[in-house]
Amino acid sequence: MRIITPRMRWAEPDLTHAVELMRWVYANRESAREQAAEAAQSIQRSYSPEAVGALARERLLKLLQHTQPRKWERLERSARAQRLRPAIPIPAKWYDEDYFENGLKSNWDRGYTWPLFANLFQETSAFLSSMFSEATSYLDIGCAKGFLVRTLRESDKECWGFDHSQWAIEHAEACAAPFITQASVDDISYDRQFDVLLALSVFESLTEAQALSFLCRARAWTRQAIFATIPSLQSEKEAVFYKQDDRDLSHITIKCPQWWHELFLRAGWRQDSLHRVVERICQAHHLPTKMGWKVYIYVPA
Confidence bin at 218 (pLDDT 50/70/90): very high
- Per-residue model confidence as pLDDT tens digits over 45-91: 888 888 888 778 777 777 777 788 877 676 676 777 678 899 999 99
CA distance 62 to 69: 10
> What is the mean pLDDT of the segment spanning 263-287?
96
SS3 string, the chain, reads CCCCCCCCCCCCCCHHHHHHHHHHHHHCHHHHHHHHHHHHHHHHHHCCHHHHHHHHHHHHHHHHHHHCHHHHHHHHHHHHHHHHCCCCCCCHHHCCHHHHCCCCCCCCCCCCCHHHHHHHHHHHHHHHHHHCCCCCEEEEECCCCCHHHHHHHHCCCEEEEEECCHHHHHCCCCCCHHHEEECCCCCCCCCCCEEEEEEECCHHHCCHHHHHHHHHHHHHHEEEEEEEECCECCCHHHHHHHHHHCCCCCCCCCECHHHHHHHHHHCCEECCHHHHHHHHHHHHCHHHHHHCCCEEEEEEC
* Ordered structural domains, the chain, with CATH: 1-62 (no CATH), 114-300 (3.40.50.150)
Phi then psi for 173, rounded to 5 degrees?
Answer: -60, 135
CA distance 129 to 286: 15
> What is the mean pLDDT of the segment spanning 165-178?
96
First-to-last C-alpha distance (Å) of the chain: 102
Whole-structure pTM value: 0.77
> What is the mean pLDDT of the segment spanning 15-33?
87
- Provide the pLDDT for residue 26: 86
Instruction: Calculate what percentage of the chain has a pLDDT beyond 90.
Output: 65
Taking the CA atoms of 100, 173, 289 and 212 in sequence, report the sign of the dihedral they define. Answer: positive
- Per-residue model confidence as pLDDT tens digits over 131-142: 999 999 999 999
> What is the mean pLDDT of the segment spanning 277-290?
96
- Per-residue model confidence as pLDDT tens digits over 259-268: 999 999 999 9
- Per-residue model confidence as pLDDT tens digits over 106-133: 999 899 999 999 999 999 999 999 999 9
- Provide the pLDDT for residue 10: 62
pLDDT exceeds 70 at position 5: no
Write down the mean pLDDT value for the chain. 90
pLDDT exceeds 60 at position 8: no
pLDDT exceeds 60 at position 288: yes
